[in-house]
Amino acid sequence: MPLLDKQVTIGRVRGISIVIDPSWFLIFILLSWVLSASYFPLQVPGLAPFAYWAAGTLAAAGLFLSVTLHELGHSLVAIRRGLPVKKIVLFVFGGVSQLEEEPEDAGTEMIMAIVGPLVSAALAGGLHLAKVAASAAGAAPLAVVFLGYLAFVNLILSVFNLLPGLPLDGGRLLRALMWKRGGDPLRATWVASEVGAGFGSALFIIGAFLVLMGNLAGLWYILIGFFLRNAAQASYQQMTYRSLLAGVKVEQIMTENPVTVDQDILLEEFVDQFLLAYHHPVFPVLAGDRVRGVAEAEAVKKVPRELWKTQTIERCYRPLSEVQVLSPSEDASEALKKMVETKSGRLLVMQGDRLVGILSRRDIMDYLNLKSSLFLG
């Protein structure tokens, strides 16, 4: 896997992993450069380049520390409310707390949503007071401007996140209020996601207009607008999936009696008789009636072609101990979450040590499409 495809864990707070997405490095470098080469020299002219670069780099780091504290506010409230938090991911557009479960009631959703902007507002107020105190004490002008910048961006972070559209905190507040009033979380999510998509479209149009006027800062508006629109639509889609899969077990939608391969089959036979014949990327590997693991097309591609005639599938299958498996009584929504996390399109369904089926992403999507056409169409 290329290095830029990997997320980097930089620490843990109360059991919550703080993770940096590769896209974060891009915006960190860009923001440091803009602050060092433009913002701070304009605010405090006449200093050495090193001073500007130090201030710019620290200010960029301070911004992302502020984002982390904002997300920690959400996460710590979620934990207090009994909702496990897997990690906080910092990426090009800020940060996001990844909860393992969604709130079960509107009250929890409301409290979780409001705490992030409150944290940012508190940081803005504290940093502004620090700026005033530093100025009164005769601190270096660059230090005063530095504190003022961090106070301002935290204020923007608080206000922007209060816009009433998903995936922003204001959108979660709007959803919680509508959910509490109407009792229908799916409809509340639809309204909040539509508002969020509207904000995204508006930013996209504003950005395009600015670019046409020769202002390249409009590109940033376009990117944020595109992100907001897609994230808003994804929020409704995820809620729809959870609603449609509520109470559904894996055994209800899995494929029974799946096609299996013997561990002694030659790679060439596996390719011809299974991969090309059935068009599945993953097959269970058996020794007699015992599951040994899974054979994957990606693993076969790594074996030189000249060895396919002499080497068996045993050379490249993954043992069962390294494979994510499902129970037939497991919730289908949890199975979908595992598929997303493991980036796997097909998971084995095991009853003890016995293979009872395979659940594929296509099985889930076929079920969702059918049920949505019957009940939502």
What radius of gyration do the chain's Cα atoms show?
Answer: 26
Buried b (16+ CB within 10 A) or exposed e, 108-123: bbbbbbbbbbebbbeb
- Tallying the residues shown for the chain, one arrives at 377
Starting from the edge strand earliest in sequence, which strands make up the sheet with 354-360, in order? Answer: 255-256, 354-360, 346-351, 325-326
Q: Lowest mean pLDDT: which of 282-286, 298-302, 373-377?
A: 373-377
- For the segment 352-369, the average pLDDT, to the nearest whole number, is 92
Domain residue ranges in the chain: 3-162, 180-246, 250-375
Confidence class for position 183, pLDDT limits 50, 70, 90: confident
Provide the total of helices (H) and of strands (E) in the chain, helices listed first.
14, 12
What's the start-to-end Cα distance of the chain, in Å? 41
This prediction's pTM: 0.79
Q: Which residue has the higher pLDDT, 340 or 6?
A: 340
Residue 299, class by beta-carbon neighbours within 10 Å (0-12 exposed, 13-18 middle, 19+ buried)? middle
pLDDT at 327 over 80: yes
Q: What is the rounded CA–CA span in Å between residue 278 and residue 293?
A: 19
pLDDT score of 91 more than 90:
no
d(CA 184, CA 46): 59
In the chain, the DSSP E strands lie at 8-13, 16-20, 85-91, 94-99, 255-256, 261-262, 282-287, 290-296, 318-319, 325-326, 346-351, 354-360
Question: Residue 375 pLDDT > 80, yes or no?
Answer: no
Tokens of 247: 């109470």
**Local structure of 130: helix, strand or coil:** helix
On the CB side of 152, CA atoms within 13 Å amount to: 8
Q: Which listed CATH number (3.40.50.150, 3.40.640.10, 1.20.1070.10, 3.10.580.10) goes with 250-375?
A: 3.10.580.10
Flag whether pLDDT at 162 surpasses 90.
yes
- Please tell me the predicted confidence (pLDDT) of residue 377: 58
Residue keyed to tokens 């068996």: 312
Structure tokens, 190: 């639809």
Least confident interval from 30-34, 126-130, 371-375: 371-375
Share of the chain above pLDDT 70, in %: 98
Whether residue 27 is predicted with pLDDT greater than 80 in this model: the reply is yes
By the 8 A CB rule, do 81 and 148 touch? no
Give the residue-averaged pLDDT of 92-108: 82
